[in-house]
Amino acid sequence: MGEVSWIKLKVGMFDDSKIKYIEGLPERDTIITIWVKLLTLAGKHNEQGYIMLSKNLPYNEEMLANEFNRSLNTVRLALQTFTTLGMIEYDDGILKVANWEKHQNIEGLEKIREQNRLRKQKQREKQKLLENNHVKSRDSHATEEELEEEKNREEDKSPSLPYKNIINHLNEQADKKYKHTTNKTQGLIKARFNEGFTENDFLKVIDNMVAEWKGNEKMEMYLRPETLFGTKFESYLNKTVVTNKKGDSYLDRLMNGEE
């Protein structure tokens, strides 16, 4: 089917029990954002809920990470959550939004397909006329973007911030192998320093959450820079540490009304 310009989102979306479950997770905002992006992507290509780049090419995890500008681990975590909740399914290995008809009005799609076909035809004709100028302009713009990205990378790698000390501490305490030179990781650390936090604050956040999550099969995956140094950094810093000896997760306790 052709691309559509809208999908249905109910005003009571956040009253849904599955969404409420997701809101109890440490990376709830990111996971919900990926869910909405999946819906819009399914609507964009409109193949009965299948997540497709083209008619014969389905999206995989790596392609979705690139499409959504998220890390591969974050996309995998989100897809695992959606699969567990029955929000997505795999049909012969192809990712599909479950109950797609809930999110899309089937009526009028034939008209939309025809409109899209005519629109794309006009775009192709216009593209042929402007191709040479467009390529030159695009190449020039790409060069400027590359220079800006290189400048940002150099700024993020500034030795004035203790990236290595922080990540080494995380690796030692959580038995991980994260790199302190990763742009995403440095960006998170730099953002928290810009908010006034110190190196000792980072070390305490790591110690707090390692004490609570390490050894817990469900929660140990969150011992990573994207979770620890993200928007909940301050709450982790001020958290009263509860060492988890029985293996029950924060999420389990949350669902049981213990948090």
Residue 107 is predicted with a pLDDT of 55
Tokens at 178, concatenated: 């994260």
Region(s) of the chain under CATH 1.10.10.10? 13-102
pLDDT tens digit string along 172-200? 999 999 999 999 999 999 999 999 999 99
Q: What Rg do the C-alpha atoms of the chain give, in angstroms?
A: 22
Residue 137 is predicted with a pLDDT of 58
Q: Residue 254: pLDDT above 60?
A: no
Residue 226 is predicted with a pLDDT of 94
Q: Judge whether 142 and 160 are in contact, CB under 8 Å.
A: no
* CA-based nearest residue to 75, from 112, 129, 126, 33: 33
CA distance 126 to 22: 45
* DSSP structural state of residue 25: S
pTM above 0.85, yes or no: no
Which band of pLDDT confidence, cut at 50, 70 and 90, is reported for residue 255?
very low
What mean pLDDT, rounded, does the chain reach? Answer: 82
Which band of pLDDT confidence, cut at 50, 70 and 90, is reported for residue 14?
confident
CA distance 174 to 233: 17
Residue 112 is predicted with a pLDDT of 65
Amino acid letter, 164: K
Q: Residue 85: pLDDT above 80?
A: yes
CATH class of 13-102: mainly alpha
Task: Tell me the β-bridge partners of 47.
Answer: 50
Question: Residue 137: enclosing H or E segment and its boundaries?
Answer: helix 109-156
Task: Tell me the β-bridge partners of 52.
Answer: 58
pLDDT tens digit string along 59-84? 999 999 999 999 999 999 999 999 99
Q: Is the dihedral of CA 24, 29, 30, 35 positive or negative?
A: positive
pLDDT tens digit string along 106-162? 555 556 667 778 888 888 888 888 876 665 555 555 566 666 666 656 554 545 899
